[in-house]
Amino acid sequence: MFVESHLSTVLELQEKSFALLRWVRGALRDGRLSFAIVHTNADSAIVAQEWIERHRAGIPADARPNAAQTTMFARLFVSFLTTSFRLKANAIRIVSDCGCRCSCCSYLQAGPNIELRTPTKKDFGTARELKQIYLRRLSAESGSEISPAAIEAIFANSSLGASLSAATWASELIRRSEFASQGTAVLALWREFAEQQRSSKGQVRMTAKTFIDAENLILAAMKGESG
């Protein structure tokens, strides 16, 4: 189950990911970024961490993690890039003959030549599987076992749809900060709850309380199904 302090930290770092991408785009125009170091490591998060450390002094405060959070931030940042965006056909821009061509630097060098991904039907199907996994894990953490019938009942309850998507997304965000992303299915989760909140409130405000409240609604529904 969510721990408010930890979830708040992860959400704050996610916001810094947005800010860092905005800064990268501006810095590219001004020629303030270097991609001369060629990365041979296949782990994009490690590459991102090295790149962030190398440019730390120039990154603005609202886009810069503290030293202790850099590893977690690098995982979130690179998964945010590759999950939410895709490279356009003309995106690869080699700055020099020795410019790095690894996947992380390719995204960073692309600047404005990336575009938002659109989740596919398959992605929404994978998102549904992630919700099932989340429900089983939440049930186990609460000391009970949820039946397949109870899972289907929660899915069938339209009033829980946005809460289930939101709580699952937050759970996956924490997972992304620790290890890896489930790809565009996570973006599909975001679309499922963010669009509803945006239409009703005009904007999406992510706070730890938002996701803890969503999880509590799911827990209450679980107890109702098992009662």
State pLDDT tens for residues 30-48: 666 767 666 666 678 888 8
- Give the predicted TM-score (pTM) of the model: 0.84
Long-range contact pairs involving 38-41 (C-beta distance under 8 Å, separation at least 24):
38/98, 38/99, 38/100, 38/101, 38/102, 39/100, 39/102, 39/104, 39/105, 40/102, 41/102
pLDDT digits (tens, 9 = 90+) for 158-187: 999 999 999 999 999 999 898 766 678 888
- Higher per-residue pLDDT: 201 or 169: 169
32 φ, ψ (degrees, to nearest 5): -95, 5
| Pairwise CA distance, residues 219 & 83, whole Å | 28
- Return phi, psi of residue 11, to 5°: -65, -40
Give the per-residue pLDDT at 109: 78
Question: What is the C-alpha separation between 110 and 93, in angstroms, rounded?
Answer: 6
pLDDT at 42: 60
Residue 81 to residue 77: CA distance in whole angstroms = 6
Predicted confidence (pLDDT) per residue in 97-143, tens digit:
456 767 777 777 777 778 888 999 999 999 999 999 999 999 999 99
User: How far apart are the C-alpha atoms of 74 and 227, rounded to whole Å?
Assistant: 43
- Length of the chain, in residues: 227
The chain-wide mean pLDDT, for the chain, equals: 84
